[in-house]
């Protein structure tokens, strides 16, 4: 039996990873630590409610005593760190919380794992690994051509991506200084079930279903590489189990699309299958985000070559599955969009 500490497991990617792992493996137990901020939602984990191999603990990864207690209580084989503040707009208005969670929280996890696993100078319990889930945004912005590779210099442009780059460098420093067993994965934009609706795709789906305006930054021609979340979960599983120690692996979907094209695709689907009265007149171009990167694109050749991973879900299939999930889970959407986040969202876009 392998025991995982999964942080941020009530969030979008973390909850999908837990559902994937418990469905795929019978010999896995997961201790799920989440602070349950606005983007953490235990409804995401309803399919494993009551499963004895899923143990939920509400805690902050910055809380040293709480994390140390978990390492004393459980014999962890893996730490998978999803816990992060991840919304760029929020990082621009409040950078400090991003430094606290994304940087100091990561360092606290590293220290607790190092203390628990260390058996001697530069020696650690066999088979243990810390995996940092990062983002392609640490690389900055691409021109019209080329792709991010693992060797691309870090050049973050927002407080969010800067905090993730800083965390990555701490993970690398622990590998170099202490020979601590780590991997880092850097993924492109994820989409799929359970994504909090401050992000582009669920936000646009929700607004289209309600015939609300769809706010698009600038001209909407910012290009992103879209990765279906289940494909990402498979990659993380492979890297945790088989990735070479100390290595970074880029995880991309080979699905580059401009943001405006994504919005029009969603509108077209809703118009055809749900509400014929919905159209592109709902699109509203708003003032562009500060420091908005123009294009991201990932080269996933290294993870394909070394581990045999590839993105199995093409965008046309993935976006339809995603829209259909939100259509059949509108109660979930109503729950997560109620309360203080909805007020924050409306205020934020009314000011642009």
Can you read off the two tokens belonging to residue 87? 């919304």
What b/e readout covers 40-72, taking b as 16+ CB neighbours within 10 angstroms? bbeebbeebeeeebbbbbebbbbeeebbeebbe
pTM reported for the whole predicted model: 0.92
pLDDT at 86 over 90: no
Give residue-wise pLDDT tens across range 93-127: 899 999 999 999 999 999 999 999 999 988 999 99
Q: Which of 34, 60, 77, 136 is catalytic?
A: 136
Q: Which of 4, 78, 160, 296 is catalytic?
A: 160
Q: Is residue 136 flagged as an active site residue?
A: yes
> Which contacts (CB < 8 Å, 24+ apart) does range 174-180 have?
174/110, 174/114, 174/130, 175/245, 175/246, 176/246, 178/114, 178/118, 178/122, 179/122, 179/123, 179/124, 180/110, 180/113, 180/114, 180/124, 180/130
Q: Which of 77, 85, 89, 137 is catalytic?
A: 137
Instruction: Give the lowest-confidence range in 166-180, 229-243, 285-299, 307-321.
Output: 285-299
Round to whole Å and give the CA distance between 237 and 152. 24
Q: Is residue 137 flagged as an active site residue?
A: yes
- φ and ψ at 231, to 5 degrees? -60, -40
* Helical (H) or strand (E) element with 349: helix 340-350
Q: Is residue 269 flagged as an active site residue?
A: no
Name every residue whose Cβ is closer than 8 Å to that of residue 52 and which is 6 or more positions away in sequence: none
Give residue-wise pLDDT tens across range 159-195: 999 999 999 999 999 999 999 999 999 999 999 999 9
Round to whole Å and give the CA distance between 338 and 188. 28
Strand partners, 350: none
pLDDT at 6 over 70: yes
Q: Helix H segments across 210-258?
A: 229-242
């Amino acid at each position: 039996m392998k025991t995982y500490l999964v942080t941020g497991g009530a969030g979008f990617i973390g909850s999908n990873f837990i559902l994937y792992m418990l469905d795929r493996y019978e010999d896995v137990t997961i201790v799920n630590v989440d602070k349950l901020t606005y983007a953490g939602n235990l409804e995401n984990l309803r399919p494993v409610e009551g499963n004895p191999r899923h143990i939920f603990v509400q805690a902050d990864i910055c809380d040293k005593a709480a994390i140390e207690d978990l390492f004393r209580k459980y014999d962890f084989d893996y730490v998978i760190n999803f816990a992060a503040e991840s919304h760029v707009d929020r990082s621009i208005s409040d950078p400090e919380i991003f430094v606290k969670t994304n940087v100091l929280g990561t360092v606290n996890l590293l220290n607790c794992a190092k203390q628990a696993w260390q058996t001697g100078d530069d020696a650690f319990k066999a088979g243990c690994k810390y995996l940092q889930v990062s983002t392609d945004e640490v690389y900055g912005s691409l021109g019209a051509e080329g792709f991010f590779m693992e060797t691309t210099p870090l050049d973050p442009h927002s407080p969010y991506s800067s905090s993730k780059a800083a965390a990555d460098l701490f993970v690398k420093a622990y590998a170099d200084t202490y020979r601590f067993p780590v991997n880092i994965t850097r993924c492109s934009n994820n989409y799929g079930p359970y994504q909090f609706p401050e992000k582009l795709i669920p936000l646009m789906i929700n607004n289209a279903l309600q015939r609300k305006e769809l706010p698009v930054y600038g001209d909407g021609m910012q290009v992103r590489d879209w990765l279906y979340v289940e494909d990402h979960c498979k990659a993380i599983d492979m890297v945790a189990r088989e990735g070479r120690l100390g290595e970074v692996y880029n995880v991309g979907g080979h699905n580059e699309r401009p943001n405006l094209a994504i919005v029009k695709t969603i509108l077209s689907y809703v118009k055809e299958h749900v509400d014929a009265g919905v159209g592109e007149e709902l699109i509203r171009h708003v003032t562009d985000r500060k420091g908005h990167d123009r294009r991201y694109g990932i080269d996933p050749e290294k993870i394909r070559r070394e581990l045999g991973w590839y993105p199995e879900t093409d965008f046309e299939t993935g976006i339809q599955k995603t829209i259909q999930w939100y259509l059949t889970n509108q109660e979930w959407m109503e729950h997560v969009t109620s309360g203080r986040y909805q007020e924050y969202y409306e205020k934020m876009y009314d000011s642009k």
